[in-house]
Amino acid sequence: MLRFMFVGDSMTIGSAGEHTWRYRLWQHLCASYGRPFTCVGPRETLHDQVTDAPTSYAYAEPAFPRAHLAGWGEGWHHMTPLIGGAVREYRADVLLVSLGLIDLGFYTNAEQTADNVRAFVAEARAANPRVRIAVMPVLHNIRVDADPTFAGQVHRFNELLAKTLADLDEPGSPLLLVPPPADYEFHADTYDGTHPNESGEHRIAAAFAEAMDEDWGLGGPYTAAA
**Structure confidence by residue, pLDDT tens digits, 28-53:** 999 999 999 999 999 999 999 999 99
Question: What is the bridge-based pairing of β-strands 46-48 and 53-56?
Answer: antiparallel
Helix or strand or coil: residue 30? helix
Q: Which CATH superfamily does the domain covering 2-216 fall into?
A: SGNH hydrolase (3.40.50.1110)
Backbone φ and ψ of 61, nearest 5°: -135, 100
Helix or strand run (H / E) with residue 154: helix 148-168
pLDDT tens-digit profile of 56-112?
999 999 888 999 999 999 999 999 999 999 999 999 999 999 999 999 999 999 999
Question: How far is the C-alpha of 136 from the C-alpha of 22, rounded, in Å?
Answer: 13
142-159 mean pLDDT: 97
Name the residue type at position 199: S
List the chain domain ranges: 2-216
pLDDT for residue 13: 98
pLDDT in tens, 162-189: 999 999 999 999 999 999 998 999 999 9
pLDDT computed for residue 226 by the predictor: 56
Q: Does the pTM exceed 0.75?
A: yes
